[in-house]
Chain A
Amino acid sequence: MSGAEPLLRIEALEVVYGDFQVLWGVSLQVRAGEVVCLLGPNGAGKSTIMNATTALVPRHAGRVSFRGEDLAGIPTHGLVARGLAHVLERRRLFPTLTVRQNLLLGGFNPAARAHRSESLVWVESVLPFLVERKDQLAGTLSGGEQQMVAIARGLMARPSLLMIDEPFLGLSPRVIDEILAIVERINRQGVAVLFTEQNVQLALSISKRGYLLESGRILLEGSGREMLEHETVRKVYLGL
Chain B
Amino acid sequence: MRAWLGHRVEGLPVAAIAALGIALAVYPLVATLPFWRHVVIMSMLYGAMGVAWNILGGLAGQVSFGHALYFGVGAYAAAYCYKVLGLAPLVSIPIALAVSCVAAVLVGLPTFRLRGHYFVLASVFIMEGIHIVVSNWDRFGAAIGLEYPVYKAKGFADALWHGQFQDKLPYYYLAFLLLGLALVVFRAIQRSPFGMFLVAIREEQDAAQSLGVNVARCKLYALVASAAITTLCGTFYAQYVLYVEPSSTMSLVISLEICFIAILGGIGTLWGPVLGAFVIVPVTELLRAYLSGRIALDMSALADGGIAAWLEYYARGGGGNLDILAYGLMIMLIARFQPAGVLGFLRRID
Contact = CB atoms under 8 A, between A and B. Distances in A.
Q: Is the interface of B mostly helix, strand, loop or mixed?
A: helix
Contacts of A56: 206, 209-210
Interface residues of B, number: 17
B212 A77 contact: yes
Given A56-B210, A80-B210, A108 B197 contact: yes
Nearest to A153: B211
B196 interface: yes
Contacts, number: 66
Contacts of B208: 94, 105
Interface residues of A, number: 29
A29 interface: no
Interface string B330-348: 0000000000000000000
A77 B207 CA distance: 10
A106 interface: yes
A71 interface: no
Contacts of A88: 206-207, 210
Contacts of B214: 75, 77
B211 A105 contact: yes
A97 interface: yes
B213 A77 contact: yes
B215 interface: yes
A9 interface: no
B206 A95 contact: no
Contacts of A44: none
Contacts of B212: 77-81, 108-110, 112, 157
B200 interface: yes
Interface string A98-125: 0001001110111010000000000000
A99 to B, nearest CB: 14
B311 to A, nearest CB: 46
Interface in A130-154: 153-154
Closest 7 CB pairs of A and B: A109-B212, A92-B207, A80-B212, A94-B203, A76-B209, A92-B204, A86-B210
15 contacts: A56-B206, A75-B214, A77-B209, A77-B212, A80-B211, A93-B204, A94-B203, A94-B207, A96-B199, A97-B199, A97-B203, A104-B196, A106-B211, A108-B213, A157-B212
